[in-house]
Protein backbone atom coordinates (compact mmCIF):
# COMPACT_ATOMS: atom_id res chain seq x y z
CA UNK A 1 0.00 0.00 0.00
CA UNK A 2 1.43 3.38 -1.02
CA UNK A 3 1.36 6.40 1.28
CA UNK A 4 1.70 10.16 0.99
CA UNK A 5 2.56 12.28 4.05
CA UNK A 6 1.71 15.95 4.39
CA UNK A 7 0.84 18.45 7.14
CA UNK A 8 -2.69 18.12 8.48
CA UNK A 9 -4.83 21.19 7.74
CA UNK A 10 -5.57 23.11 10.93
CA UNK A 11 -7.28 26.41 11.67
CA UNK A 12 -6.42 28.51 14.75
CA UNK A 13 -9.77 27.61 16.32
CA UNK A 14 -9.12 23.86 16.07
CA UNK A 15 -7.17 23.48 19.29
CA UNK A 16 -7.82 19.74 19.30
CA UNK A 17 -5.35 19.32 16.42
CA UNK A 18 -1.65 19.46 17.29
CA UNK A 19 0.40 22.06 15.42
CA UNK A 20 2.72 19.47 13.90
CA UNK A 21 -0.04 16.94 13.06
CA UNK A 22 0.31 14.97 9.83
CA UNK A 23 -2.06 13.50 7.30
CA UNK A 24 -1.16 10.15 5.72
CA UNK A 25 -3.00 9.12 2.54
CA UNK A 26 -2.88 5.39 1.84
CA UNK A 27 -3.74 4.11 -1.64
CA UNK A 28 -4.43 0.62 -2.98
CA UNK A 29 -5.70 -0.95 -6.19
CA UNK A 30 -7.77 -3.54 -4.32
CA UNK A 31 -10.97 -1.48 -4.24
CA UNK A 32 -10.77 -0.64 -7.94
CA UNK A 33 -10.64 -4.34 -8.75
CA UNK A 34 -13.95 -5.15 -7.03
CA UNK A 35 -16.53 -6.48 -9.52
CA UNK A 36 -19.65 -4.29 -9.89
CA UNK A 37 -22.03 -7.26 -9.97
CA UNK A 38 -22.07 -11.02 -10.21
CA UNK A 39 -24.28 -11.09 -13.31
CA UNK A 40 -24.86 -7.48 -14.36
CA UNK A 41 -21.32 -6.39 -15.18
CA UNK A 42 -22.81 -3.34 -16.90
CA UNK A 43 -25.16 -2.47 -14.03
CA UNK A 44 -23.99 1.16 -13.98
CA UNK A 45 -24.75 1.53 -17.71
CA UNK A 46 -28.21 0.02 -17.23
CA UNK A 47 -28.91 2.39 -14.34
CA UNK A 48 -27.74 5.39 -16.38
CA UNK A 49 -29.92 4.54 -19.39
CA UNK A 50 -32.96 3.77 -17.23
CA UNK A 51 -32.59 7.09 -15.40
CA UNK A 52 -32.10 8.98 -18.66
CA UNK A 53 -35.21 7.47 -20.22
CA UNK A 54 -37.31 8.25 -17.14
CA UNK A 55 -36.50 11.94 -17.25
CA UNK A 56 -35.88 12.89 -20.86
CA UNK A 57 -38.52 14.68 -22.85
CA UNK A 58 -39.98 12.70 -25.75
CA UNK A 59 -41.25 13.42 -29.23
CA UNK A 60 -44.46 12.45 -30.96
CA UNK A 61 -44.50 12.54 -34.77
CA UNK A 62 -41.30 14.54 -34.64
CA UNK A 63 -42.69 17.24 -32.34
CA UNK A 64 -41.40 17.70 -28.77
CA UNK A 65 -43.69 16.52 -25.99
CA UNK A 66 -43.25 18.75 -22.91
CA UNK A 67 -41.68 17.02 -19.94
CA UNK A 68 -42.02 18.39 -16.42
CA UNK A 69 -38.50 17.35 -15.58
CA UNK A 70 -35.45 17.24 -17.81
CA UNK A 71 -32.90 14.52 -17.34
CA UNK A 72 -30.43 15.08 -14.54
CA UNK A 73 -27.49 12.78 -13.83
CA UNK A 74 -28.17 13.10 -10.09
CA UNK A 75 -30.47 10.07 -9.84
CA UNK A 76 -28.16 7.66 -11.65
CA UNK A 77 -25.12 9.17 -9.91
CA UNK A 78 -26.64 8.57 -6.47
CA UNK A 79 -27.64 4.98 -7.25
CA UNK A 80 -24.26 4.08 -8.74
CA UNK A 81 -22.39 5.80 -5.90
CA UNK A 82 -24.47 4.04 -3.23
CA UNK A 83 -23.79 0.64 -4.75
CA UNK A 84 -20.08 1.25 -5.21
CA UNK A 85 -19.80 2.51 -1.63
CA UNK A 86 -21.54 -0.60 -0.32
CA UNK A 87 -19.39 -2.89 -2.42
CA UNK A 88 -16.16 -1.23 -1.30
CA UNK A 89 -17.21 -1.12 2.36
CA UNK A 90 -18.17 -4.80 2.44
CA UNK A 91 -15.10 -5.82 0.47
CA UNK A 92 -12.74 -4.51 3.15
CA UNK A 93 -12.35 -4.79 6.92
CA UNK A 94 -10.34 -1.57 7.22
CA UNK A 95 -11.70 1.67 8.63
CA UNK A 96 -11.67 4.82 6.53
CA UNK A 97 -9.58 6.74 9.07
CA UNK A 98 -7.16 5.96 11.89
CA UNK A 99 -6.44 8.65 14.47
CA UNK A 100 -3.44 9.04 16.78
CA UNK A 101 -3.51 11.37 19.78
CA UNK A 102 -0.88 12.86 22.07
CA UNK A 103 -1.00 12.96 25.87
CA UNK A 104 -3.10 16.13 25.76
CA UNK A 105 -5.71 14.37 23.62
CA UNK A 106 -4.82 16.33 20.49
CA UNK A 107 -4.79 14.71 17.06
CA UNK A 108 -1.21 14.17 15.92
CA UNK A 109 -1.88 11.88 12.94
CA UNK A 110 -4.77 10.97 10.66
CA UNK A 111 -4.25 8.03 8.31
CA UNK A 112 -6.73 7.90 5.41
CA UNK A 113 -7.33 4.39 4.08
CA UNK A 114 -8.76 3.84 0.56
CA UNK A 115 -12.35 3.85 1.88
CA UNK A 116 -11.86 7.48 2.92
CA UNK A 117 -12.57 8.55 -0.67
CA UNK A 118 -16.26 7.87 0.01
CA UNK A 119 -16.24 10.20 3.02
CA UNK A 120 -15.72 13.17 0.71
CA UNK A 121 -18.51 12.07 -1.64
CA UNK A 122 -21.34 12.06 0.88
CA UNK A 123 -21.44 15.79 1.44
CA UNK A 124 -24.26 17.62 3.19
CA UNK A 125 -27.15 17.64 0.74
CA UNK A 126 -27.27 13.91 0.16
CA UNK A 127 -29.88 13.27 2.81
CA UNK A 128 -32.50 15.69 1.49
CA UNK A 129 -32.96 14.22 -2.01
CA UNK A 130 -32.78 10.68 -0.62
CA UNK A 131 -35.68 11.26 1.73
CA UNK A 132 -37.89 13.65 -0.26
CA UNK A 133 -40.89 12.75 -2.40
CA UNK A 134 -38.70 13.06 -5.50
CA UNK A 135 -35.89 10.89 -4.14
CA UNK A 136 -34.84 7.28 -4.26
CA UNK A 137 -37.62 6.18 -1.93
CA UNK A 138 -39.92 6.23 -4.98
CA UNK A 139 -37.70 3.88 -6.95
CA UNK A 140 -36.65 0.28 -6.83
CA UNK A 141 -32.88 0.11 -6.95
CA UNK A 142 -30.41 -2.73 -6.92
CA UNK A 143 -30.26 -4.52 -3.53
CA UNK A 144 -26.93 -3.11 -2.40
CA UNK A 145 -27.92 0.50 -3.15
CA UNK A 146 -31.26 -0.06 -1.38
CA UNK A 147 -29.48 -1.60 1.59
CA UNK A 148 -27.01 1.30 1.94
CA UNK A 149 -29.91 3.74 1.73
CA UNK A 150 -31.64 1.90 4.58
CA UNK A 151 -28.56 2.24 6.79
CA UNK A 152 -28.25 5.93 5.92
CA UNK A 153 -31.84 6.38 7.10
CA UNK A 154 -31.05 5.47 10.71
CA UNK A 155 -27.34 6.21 11.06
CA UNK A 156 -26.55 9.76 12.28
CA UNK A 157 -23.56 10.40 9.97
CA UNK A 158 -25.36 12.50 7.34
CA UNK A 159 -27.23 14.49 9.97
CA UNK A 160 -23.94 15.21 11.69
CA UNK A 161 -22.51 16.44 8.39
CA UNK A 162 -25.43 18.84 7.99
CA UNK A 163 -24.85 20.24 11.45
CA UNK A 164 -21.14 21.01 11.27
CA UNK A 165 -20.05 21.35 7.63
CA UNK A 166 -20.86 23.28 4.51
CA UNK A 167 -20.94 21.44 1.15
CA UNK A 168 -17.40 20.81 -0.04
CA UNK A 169 -15.85 21.66 3.34
CA UNK A 170 -16.09 18.37 5.23
CA UNK A 171 -13.01 17.26 7.13
CA UNK A 172 -12.56 14.04 9.12
CA UNK A 173 -11.09 16.12 11.96
CA UNK A 174 -14.23 18.23 12.45
CA UNK A 175 -16.04 17.57 15.70
CA UNK A 176 -19.48 15.99 15.70
CA UNK A 177 -22.36 18.20 16.92
CA UNK A 178 -22.27 16.47 20.30
CA UNK A 179 -18.57 17.23 20.63
CA UNK A 180 -17.73 13.68 21.68
CA UNK A 181 -15.91 12.61 18.53
CA UNK A 182 -14.92 13.48 14.98
CA UNK A 183 -16.65 13.13 11.61
CA UNK A 184 -13.98 10.64 10.55
CA UNK A 185 -14.84 8.47 13.55
CA UNK A 186 -18.56 8.79 12.75
CA UNK A 187 -17.82 7.59 9.22
CA UNK A 188 -15.90 4.62 10.62
CA UNK A 189 -18.95 3.83 12.73
CA UNK A 190 -21.11 4.00 9.59
CA UNK A 191 -18.85 1.40 7.96
CA UNK A 192 -19.18 -0.87 11.00
CA UNK A 193 -22.97 -0.48 10.90
CA UNK A 194 -23.04 -1.38 7.20
CA UNK A 195 -20.99 -4.53 7.76
CA UNK A 196 -23.06 -5.66 10.73
CA UNK A 197 -26.33 -5.03 8.89
CA UNK A 198 -25.05 -6.80 5.76
CA UNK A 199 -24.23 -9.88 7.83
CA UNK A 200 -27.64 -9.76 9.50
CA UNK A 201 -29.51 -9.47 6.19
CA UNK A 202 -27.21 -11.88 4.32
CA UNK A 203 -26.90 -9.26 1.60
CA UNK A 204 -24.58 -11.46 -0.48
CA UNK A 205 -27.32 -14.06 -0.85
CA UNK A 206 -29.89 -11.37 -1.65
CA UNK A 207 -27.65 -10.02 -4.43
CA UNK A 208 -27.12 -13.47 -5.89
CA UNK A 209 -30.87 -14.15 -6.01
CA UNK A 210 -31.52 -10.70 -7.50
CA UNK A 211 -28.93 -11.03 -10.26
CA UNK A 212 -30.04 -14.56 -11.08
CA UNK A 213 -33.58 -13.22 -11.44
CA UNK A 214 -32.32 -10.64 -13.93
CA UNK A 215 -30.50 -13.30 -15.93
CA UNK A 216 -33.54 -15.57 -15.85
CA UNK A 217 -35.76 -12.77 -17.21
CA UNK A 218 -33.29 -12.15 -20.02
CA UNK A 219 -33.07 -15.85 -20.87
CA UNK A 220 -36.86 -16.16 -21.02
CA UNK A 221 -37.30 -13.08 -23.18
CA UNK A 222 -34.61 -14.07 -25.64
CA UNK A 223 -35.83 -17.67 -25.78
CA UNK A 224 -39.20 -16.38 -26.98
CA UNK A 225 -37.73 -13.90 -29.50
CA UNK A 226 -35.27 -16.52 -30.75
CA UNK A 227 -38.16 -18.93 -31.26
CA UNK A 228 -39.98 -16.31 -33.34
CA UNK A 229 -36.91 -15.66 -35.50
CA UNK A 230 -36.43 -19.35 -36.21
CA UNK A 231 -39.86 -19.52 -37.84
CA UNK A 232 -38.83 -17.47 -40.89
CA UNK A 233 -35.94 -16.95 -43.28
CA UNK A 234 -35.94 -13.24 -42.65
CA UNK A 235 -37.79 -11.14 -40.14
CA UNK A 236 -39.00 -7.57 -40.03
CA UNK A 237 -38.55 -6.07 -36.56
CA UNK A 238 -40.61 -3.07 -35.50
CA UNK A 239 -40.37 -1.33 -32.14
CA UNK A 240 -43.20 0.85 -30.86
CA UNK A 241 -44.08 2.79 -27.72
CA UNK A 242 -47.73 3.21 -26.66
CA UNK A 243 -48.60 6.02 -24.26
CA UNK A 244 -51.20 8.65 -23.38
CA UNK A 245 -51.26 12.24 -24.59
CA UNK A 246 -49.03 14.50 -22.50
CA UNK A 247 -51.77 16.24 -20.53
CA UNK A 248 -53.08 12.82 -19.43
CA UNK A 249 -49.85 10.80 -19.27
CA UNK A 250 -48.80 11.17 -15.64
CA UNK A 251 -52.41 11.40 -14.44
CA UNK A 252 -53.41 7.98 -15.78
CA UNK A 253 -53.23 5.46 -12.89
CA UNK A 254 -51.41 2.24 -13.56
CA UNK A 255 -54.61 0.19 -13.25
CA UNK A 256 -56.25 2.17 -16.07
CA UNK A 257 -53.13 1.95 -18.23
CA UNK A 258 -53.17 -1.83 -17.73
CA UNK A 259 -56.85 -2.00 -18.70
CA UNK A 260 -56.17 -0.06 -21.89
CA UNK A 261 -53.25 -2.34 -22.67
CA UNK A 262 -55.28 -5.51 -22.10
CA UNK A 263 -58.00 -4.27 -24.46
CA UNK A 264 -55.34 -3.29 -26.99
CA UNK A 265 -53.81 -6.79 -27.02
CA UNK A 266 -57.25 -8.32 -27.53
CA UNK A 267 -57.88 -5.99 -30.47
CA UNK A 268 -54.56 -6.99 -32.02
CA UNK A 269 -55.37 -10.66 -31.57
CA UNK A 270 -58.66 -10.18 -33.40
CA UNK A 271 -57.14 -8.60 -36.54
CA UNK A 272 -56.80 -11.19 -39.29
CA UNK A 273 -54.11 -9.20 -41.11
CA UNK A 274 -51.98 -9.17 -37.96
CA UNK A 275 -52.45 -12.90 -37.44
CA UNK A 276 -51.26 -13.65 -40.97
CA UNK A 277 -48.03 -11.65 -40.84
CA UNK A 278 -47.01 -11.26 -37.21
CA UNK A 279 -45.01 -14.16 -35.78
CA UNK A 280 -44.86 -12.81 -32.24
CA UNK A 281 -44.06 -9.84 -30.05
CA UNK A 282 -42.81 -8.95 -26.62
CA UNK A 283 -43.99 -6.06 -24.47
CA UNK A 284 -42.62 -4.25 -21.42
CA UNK A 285 -44.45 -1.85 -19.12
CA UNK A 286 -42.47 1.27 -18.26
CA UNK A 287 -42.71 4.76 -16.78
CA UNK A 288 -41.29 8.21 -17.49
CA UNK A 289 -41.94 11.81 -16.46
CA UNK A 290 -43.19 12.73 -19.92
CA UNK A 291 -45.28 9.65 -20.72
CA UNK A 292 -46.31 8.31 -17.35
CA UNK A 293 -47.11 4.58 -17.51
CA UNK A 294 -46.53 3.33 -21.04
CA UNK A 295 -45.70 0.17 -22.97
CA UNK A 296 -42.83 -0.77 -25.25
CA UNK A 297 -43.40 -3.44 -27.84
CA UNK A 298 -41.02 -5.27 -30.17
CA UNK A 299 -42.86 -6.95 -33.06
CA UNK A 300 -41.40 -9.79 -35.14
CA UNK A 301 -43.06 -9.97 -38.58
CA UNK A 302 -42.44 -12.55 -41.28
CA UNK A 303 -40.13 -10.64 -43.62
CA UNK A 304 -41.47 -12.50 -46.65
CA UNK A 305 -44.97 -11.15 -46.02
CA UNK A 306 -44.21 -7.59 -44.94
CA UNK A 307 -42.86 -5.08 -47.44
CA UNK A 308 -44.25 -1.66 -46.50
CA UNK A 309 -43.68 -1.77 -42.76
CA UNK A 310 -45.45 1.53 -42.13
CA UNK A 311 -48.71 -0.08 -43.24
CA UNK A 312 -48.58 -2.51 -40.31
CA UNK A 313 -47.28 -0.09 -37.70
CA UNK A 314 -50.06 2.33 -38.70
CA UNK A 315 -52.60 -0.48 -38.31
CA UNK A 316 -51.24 -1.34 -34.87
CA UNK A 317 -51.19 2.31 -33.83
CA UNK A 318 -54.83 2.64 -34.87
CA UNK A 319 -55.81 -0.16 -32.48
CA UNK A 320 -54.25 1.70 -29.57
CA UNK A 321 -55.87 4.95 -30.66
CA UNK A 322 -59.27 3.25 -30.77
CA UNK A 323 -58.85 1.84 -27.27
CA UNK A 324 -57.91 5.05 -25.43
CA UNK A 325 -60.84 7.50 -25.29
CA UNK A 326 -60.82 11.19 -26.27
CA UNK A 327 -58.07 10.68 -28.83
CA UNK A 328 -55.53 10.42 -26.01
CA UNK A 329 -53.83 7.23 -27.22
CA UNK A 330 -50.48 8.02 -28.84
CA UNK A 331 -47.91 5.69 -30.36
CA UNK A 332 -44.43 6.17 -31.75
CA UNK A 333 -42.30 3.92 -33.90
CA UNK A 334 -38.70 3.63 -32.75
CA UNK A 335 -36.32 3.98 -35.67
CA UNK A 336 -32.81 2.67 -36.21
CA UNK A 337 -31.09 5.91 -35.27
CA UNK A 338 -32.66 5.93 -31.82
CA UNK A 339 -32.00 2.32 -30.87
CA UNK A 340 -28.69 1.18 -32.33
CA UNK A 341 -30.09 -0.35 -35.50
CA UNK A 342 -32.02 -3.40 -34.30
CA UNK A 343 -35.20 -2.53 -36.22
CA UNK A 344 -35.97 -3.18 -39.87
CA UNK A 345 -35.34 -6.25 -42.02
CA UNK A 346 -33.10 -8.92 -40.52
CA UNK A 347 -31.64 -11.68 -42.67
CA UNK A 348 -31.33 -14.61 -40.29
CA UNK A 349 -28.20 -15.91 -41.99
CA UNK A 350 -26.46 -12.58 -42.52
CA UNK A 351 -27.56 -9.67 -40.34
CA UNK A 352 -25.07 -10.30 -37.57
CA UNK A 353 -24.93 -6.71 -36.33
CA UNK A 354 -28.72 -6.31 -36.23
CA UNK A 355 -29.17 -9.58 -34.40
CA UNK A 356 -26.56 -8.52 -31.84
CA UNK A 357 -28.29 -5.14 -31.43
CA UNK A 358 -31.67 -6.84 -31.01
CA UNK A 359 -30.25 -9.19 -28.40
CA UNK A 360 -28.74 -6.23 -26.52
CA UNK A 361 -32.08 -4.39 -26.54
CA UNK A 362 -33.92 -7.46 -25.24
CA UNK A 363 -31.33 -7.75 -22.48
CA UNK A 364 -31.89 -4.14 -21.51
CA UNK A 365 -35.67 -4.58 -21.37
CA UNK A 366 -35.26 -7.72 -19.27
CA UNK A 367 -32.74 -6.31 -16.82
CA UNK A 368 -33.67 -2.64 -16.47
CA UNK A 369 -36.19 -3.29 -13.69
CA UNK A 370 -33.41 -5.08 -11.81
CA UNK A 371 -31.21 -1.99 -12.16
CA UNK A 372 -33.54 0.98 -11.60
CA UNK A 373 -37.27 1.49 -11.99
CA UNK A 374 -40.25 3.16 -10.37
CA UNK A 375 -41.54 0.97 -7.54
CA UNK A 376 -43.57 -1.71 -9.39
CA UNK A 377 -47.16 -2.68 -8.69
CA UNK A 378 -47.32 -5.86 -6.64
CA UNK A 379 -48.54 -8.96 -8.50
CA UNK A 380 -48.80 -7.11 -11.82
CA UNK A 381 -47.24 -8.25 -15.07
CA UNK A 382 -44.15 -6.20 -15.89
CA UNK A 383 -43.64 -7.82 -19.30
CA UNK A 384 -45.13 -10.49 -21.47
CA UNK A 385 -45.18 -12.18 -24.85
CA UNK A 386 -47.78 -11.94 -27.58
CA UNK A 387 -48.47 -14.70 -30.07
CA UNK A 388 -51.37 -14.01 -32.46
CA UNK A 389 -54.27 -16.38 -31.99
CA UNK A 390 -53.61 -17.61 -28.46
CA UNK A 391 -53.59 -16.40 -24.87
CA UNK A 392 -50.24 -15.86 -23.19
CA UNK A 393 -49.15 -17.20 -19.79
CA UNK A 394 -48.86 -14.76 -16.90
CA UNK A 395 -45.30 -13.51 -16.42
CA UNK A 396 -44.27 -11.40 -13.45
CA UNK A 397 -41.13 -9.75 -12.19
CA UNK A 398 -41.23 -9.89 -8.40
CA UNK A 399 -39.22 -7.87 -5.98
CA UNK A 400 -36.38 -9.44 -4.03
CA UNK A 401 -37.12 -8.74 -0.38
CA UNK A 402 -34.18 -7.42 1.63
CATH number at residue 329: 3.30.70.60
pLDDT digit string (tens) for 170-203? 889 988 888 788 999 999 999 999 999 999 999 9
Using CA atoms in the order 212, 289, 287, 242, what is the torsion angle rounded to 10 degrees?
Answer: -140
Within a domain: residue 371? yes
Under a CB-based contact definition with an 8 Å cutoff, are residues 214 and 142 in contact? no
Q: Could you tell me if 112 and 241 lie in one domain?
A: no
Q: What number is the average pLDDT over the span 39-68?
A: 70
Q: Could you tell me if 268 and 301 lie in one domain?
A: yes
Within a domain: residue 168? yes
Q: What number is the average pLDDT over the span 283-309?
A: 89
Within a domain: residue 59? no
| Stronger pLDDT, 350 or 330, i.e. the higher one | 330
Within a domain: residue 232? yes
Asked whether residue 78 carries a pLDDT value surpassing 90, the answer given is no
Distance, CA of 320 to CA of 265 (rounded, Å):
9
Q: Could you tell me if 184 and 100 lie in one domain?
A: yes
Confidence (pLDDT) at 49: 87
Q: Could you tell me if 194 and 331 lie in one domain?
A: no
Under a CB-based contact definition with an 8 Å cutoff, are residues 156 and 168 in contact? no
Is 382 buried (19+), middle (13-18) or exposed (0-12) by CB count in 10 A? buried
Distance, CA of 399 to CA of 402 (rounded, Å):
9
Asked whether residue 369 carries a pLDDT value surpassing 80, the answer given is yes
Q: What number is the average pLDDT over the span 365-394?
A: 79
Asked whether residue 389 carries a pLDDT value surpassing 90, the answer given is no
Within a domain: residue 392? no
Q: Could you tell me if 155 and 248 lie in one domain?
A: no
Asked whether residue 351 carries a pLDDT value surpassing 50, the answer given is yes
**180: three-class secondary structure by DSSP:** coil
Asked whether residue 37 carries a pLDDT value surpassing 70, the answer given is no
Asked whether residue 396 carries a pLDDT value surpassing 70, the answer given is no
Q: Could you tell me if 192 and 227 lie in one domain?
A: no
Q: Could you tell me if 197 and 103 lie in one domain?
A: yes
Q: Could you tell me if 248 and 357 lie in one domain?
A: yes
Structurally, the chain folds into a number of domains equal to 2
> What is the chain's mean pLDDT, rounded?
83
Confidence (pLDDT) at 104: 93
Q: Are strands 17-27 and 292-302 parallel, antiparallel or unpaired?
A: unpaired
pLDDT digit string (tens) for 103-136? 999 999 999 999 999 998 876 556 454 444 545 5
Q: What number is the average pLDDT over the span 309-317?
A: 87
Q: Could you tell me if 169 and 280 lie in one domain?
A: no
Distance, CA of 84 to CA of 380 (rounded, Å):
31
Per mean pLDDT, which of 43-57, 212-226, 239-253, 320-334 is the most reliable?
212-226
Distances (CA, A) of 185 to 37, 110, 122, 169, 394: 29, 11, 15, 17, 51
Confidence (pLDDT) at 164: 65
Distance, CA of 43 to CA of 367 (rounded, Å):
9
Q: Are strands 97-101 and 107-112 parallel, antiparallel or unpaired?
A: antiparallel
Where is the domain boundary, 184, 201, 218?
Answer: 201
**233: three-class secondary structure by DSSP:** coil
Q: Could you tell me if 213 and 339 lie in one domain?
A: yes
Within a domain: residue 124? yes
Q: Could you tell me if 288 and 350 lie in one domain?
A: yes
Under a CB-based contact definition with an 8 Å cutoff, are residues 201 and 150 in contact? no
Q: Name 273's Cβ contacts closer than 8 Å, sequence gap at least 6.
A: 312, 315
How big is the chain by its Cα radius of gyration, in Å?
26
Confidence (pLDDT) at 147: 92
Within a domain: residue 63? no
Distance, CA of 190 to CA of 126 (rounded, Å):
15
Sign of CA dihedral 191, 196, 200, 205: positive
Asked whether residue 237 carries a pLDDT value surpassing 90, the answer given is yes
Q: Could you tell me if 197 and 213 lie in one domain?
A: no
Distances (CA, A) of 324 to 244, 245, 252, 292, 294: 8, 10, 11, 15, 12
Is 77 buried (19+), middle (13-18) or exposed (0-12) by CB count in 10 A? middle
pLDDT band at 77 (very low <50, low <70, confident <90, very high): confident
Q: What number is the average pLDDT over the span 248-261?
A: 87
Q: What is the span of the domain harbouring residue 185? A: 2-33+73-201
Q: Can you state the percent helix, strand and coil of the chain, rounding each to 5?
A: 45, 20, 35
Lowest-pLDDT choice from 221-230, 268-277, 340-349: 340-349
Q: pTM of the full predicted structure?
A: 0.81
Distance, CA of 29 to CA of 88 (rounded, Å):
12
Q: What number is the average pLDDT over the span 199-215?
A: 93
Q: Where are the alpha helices (DSSP H) in 56-96?
A: 74-90
Q: Name 155's Cβ contacts closer than 8 Å, sequence gap at least 6.
A: 189, 190, 193
Within a domain: residue 188? yes
Q: What number is the average pLDDT over the span 221-240?
A: 94
Amino acid sequence: MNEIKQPLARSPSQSWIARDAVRIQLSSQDLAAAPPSRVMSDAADLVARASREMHLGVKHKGEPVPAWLNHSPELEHRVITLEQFGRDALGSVDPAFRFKFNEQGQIVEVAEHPLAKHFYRFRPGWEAPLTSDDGLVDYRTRPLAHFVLDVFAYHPFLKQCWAVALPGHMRPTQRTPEGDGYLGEAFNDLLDALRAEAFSRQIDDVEIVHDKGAKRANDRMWAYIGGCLRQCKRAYVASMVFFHREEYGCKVPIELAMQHHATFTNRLRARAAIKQRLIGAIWKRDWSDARGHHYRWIFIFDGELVQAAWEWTDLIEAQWGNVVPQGAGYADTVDDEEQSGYTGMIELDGSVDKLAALKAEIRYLAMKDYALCVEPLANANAWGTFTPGREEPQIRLTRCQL
